Structure 1
Amino acid sequence: MARPKTDLPDAAAVRALVDGEGRLAVRVTPGAKTEGLVIEQGRLLAKVRAKPQDGAANKAVAGLIAKALGCAPSKVELSRGATSREKQFRVS
């Protein structure tokens, strides 16, 4: 069975959520049926299929953010919230 398409918002909309110091706040839902990023009420919400084990969900979210911004995954790193649904990433 083919994987469903990943839903991503416009890169400019995601960049608008990054503050002056390169921080991006994200609310994560691990173990979701579909993957994607959604902007609701000025917040970025991420849904990933990966389970929250051994950092797999964090890596999946970083990959989605990088894909949405059109940059390398190495430019997006988790700075806060490794075990929380509320995370903060640094985009360089």
Structure 2
Amino acid sequence: MPDFFRTASGGADVFIRLTPRGGADAIEGVEETADGRAHLKARVRAAPEKGAANKALEKLLAHALGIPKGQVSVASGATARLKTLRVTGDEGDIVRKLRALAASSGR
């Protein structure tokens, strides 16, 4: 399975499929699409109105990685289910945390 993230200078870009109004805030593992791309599956309770679901997703990923929420932001896909979140910080540290997150969420 391909990685659900790519490293970038000063951090990583994480590919996520978000389900807003999902009943709970949770990361549900890694999923591969028919075209061979991988992404984290996540759900949040917030509705996709006025950026509430995106903010909840940023907070959820930051909490799951154990980093300040200011280090996570939506880089693309603000109004789409498939999003790219930018995580800033030490690349090696972020990659380790992302791999551990995938392993603990059932990858």
TM-score (norm 2): 0.67
Query: C-alpha offsets along residues 8-62 of structure 1, whole Å, 9 cap, x if unaligned?
Result: xxxxxxxx74321110000000001121001133520110000000000000000
Task: Figure out how many residues of one structure are paired with residues of the other and give that number.
Answer: 77
Identical-pair percentage:
36
Moved over 4 A (4+): none
Task: Specify every segment of 5 or more residues in structure 1 that has no aligned partner in the other structure, as ranges.
Answer: 1-15
Structure ranking higher in strand proportion: 2
TM-score (norm 1): 0.78
Instruction: Report the Cα offset of residue 77 of structure 1.
Output: 0.7
Residue matched to 2:23: 33
The CA RMSD measured in Å over matched residues stands at: 1.3
Task: Specify every segment of 5 or more residues in structure 2 that has no aligned partner in the other structure, as ranges.
Answer: 32-37, 89-107
